[in-house]
Amino acid sequence: MLSCRSYIFSLMRDKRVGFPHIMVKAVLRFLSWIYAQAVRLVALGYKTGLRRRYRVGAPVVSVGNITLGGTGKTPFVMFIADYFITRTRKPAVLTRGYGGDENRMLAAELPEVPVFVGQDRVKEARGAVRATRDVLVLDDGFQHRRIERDLDILLLDAFSPFGNGCLFPRGVLREPISSVRRADILVLTKTDRINTEDREDIVRRLAVLAPGKPVVLSRHKPSFLSDITGAVYAIDTLRHKRVLLFSGIADPDYLAFLIEKQGAEIVSRHDYDDHHRYSDADIGVIRACCVREKAEIIITTAKDYVKVKDLNLSGVEEKIFVMNIEIDIVEGKENLVAGLNSVISCKRA
């Protein structure tokens, strides 16, 4: 049965038509107007100085978006943190920890990078500085304007950069499209999902919305598979395999796209809500479907695996593989590197 959350999200993405849905959309549009006033008041508060912004004692890079999920923030945060490590810096990640899966994934994938979790990210930032971390990566930070940042990176999903153009809850926008001009660098993610002409159209539109701001093109690149023991396998292991795919992420279609690009056949998909809390019952459904569809491999994401690894995986544990993904910069890498290097040279008292 479709959950209320999934139903509303489908309306936000205009996936449902018909009179009953039109009525619900009208209500959502009114709520969007109220939300828009709140967003304007917050922006006005920071513009006039009524809302205070804080320096936290170390350079800050913000990675965020203006839509609700699906742009690939977590892999990009990992990419940024890893870059700073290669430059002999000591990064820390600041996150709200919504759902708990991203911070657990970050801790597992980058054990040398501490993750500071909390609603008061000014407090967490100062804790990171006390812990001698010398550069801070603010996860989902575009709307969190209390912390002054030295570099504001805005991610946009190339397949649907602004959704239907409406603010939440009628659409997926968290603030008006004009807000893109506040970013220092614009990053189009998942550019391999659209053709060259569409990419160029988006880049031209961004040039109008945010004149002079560099645009970086990126994609998610499957790098390897790993099983529950941590053993690593080449990504071409997927070729010609019958795959059962399960995930609780904002954009499961892109994950399926990446798997099919490897030459696999997806015989069953289980798309759960973003940040889904898995149960043994969920695993039971997956187990039964795996047998019924004669799936050879079960694929999930690192974000999902941290939430299922302690459940009862009997009967499927040998078939479960995590598809590990890295960020691949397709175009504009020099602009991104220049921005990150400018942060490294920053000094904060």
The answer to whether residue 2 scores a pLDDT higher than 70 is no
* pLDDT at residue 312 in the model: 96
Structural Rg of the chain based on CA atoms: 21
Q: Is the pTM of this model over 0.85?
A: yes
Region at 147 (left for phi over 0; alpha for psi -120 to 50; beta for the rest): beta
Instruction: Answer whether 5's CB lies under 8 Å from 12's CB.
Output: no
Confidence class of residue 132 from pLDDT cuts 50, 70 and 90? very high
Instruction: Answer whether 302's CB lies under 8 Å from 108's CB.
Output: yes
25 membership: H or E segment, kind and range: helix 19-48
Confidence class of residue 47 from pLDDT cuts 50, 70 and 90? very high
Confidence class of residue 181 from pLDDT cuts 50, 70 and 90? very high
Confidence class of residue 70 from pLDDT cuts 50, 70 and 90? confident
What are the b/e assignments for 218-245, b being 16+ CB within 10 Å? bbbbbebbbebeeeeeebeebeebebbb
User: Per-residue pLDDT tens for 145-175?
Assistant: 999 999 999 999 999 999 999 999 999 999 9
The label of the residue with tokens 């950069």 reads 161
User: Per-residue pLDDT tens for 239-274?
Assistant: 999 999 999 998 999 999 999 999 999 999 999 988
Residue 255 corresponds to which tokens in the numbers above?
Answer: 């994950």
pLDDT (mean) for 102-107: 83
* pLDDT at residue 7 in the model: 80
Q: Which of residues 16 and 180 earns the better pLDDT score?
A: 180
The DSSP string of 259-318 is HHHTT-EEEEEEEPPTT----HHHHHHHHHHHHHTT-SEEEE-HHHHHHHTTS--TTTTT
Domains and CATH numbers, the chain: 60-214+332-344 (3.40.50.300), 222-325 (3.40.50)
The lowest-confidence range among 13-27, 197-211, 222-236 is 13-27
The rounded distance, in Å, linking the Cα atoms of 274 and 252 is 9
* pLDDT at residue 348 in the model: 60
Query: Considering only CA atoms, which of 262, 274, 269 is closest in space to residue 304?
Result: 274
Query: Considering only CA atoms, which of 172, 143, 127 is closest in space to residue 274?
Result: 172
* pLDDT at residue 16 in the model: 79
The label of the residue with tokens 């009997």 reads 314
* pLDDT at residue 347 in the model: 65
User: Per-residue pLDDT tens for 292-341?
Assistant: 999 999 999 999 999 999 999 999 999 999 999 999 999 999 999 999 99
The alpha carbon dihedral of 310, 75, 140, 11 has a sign of: negative
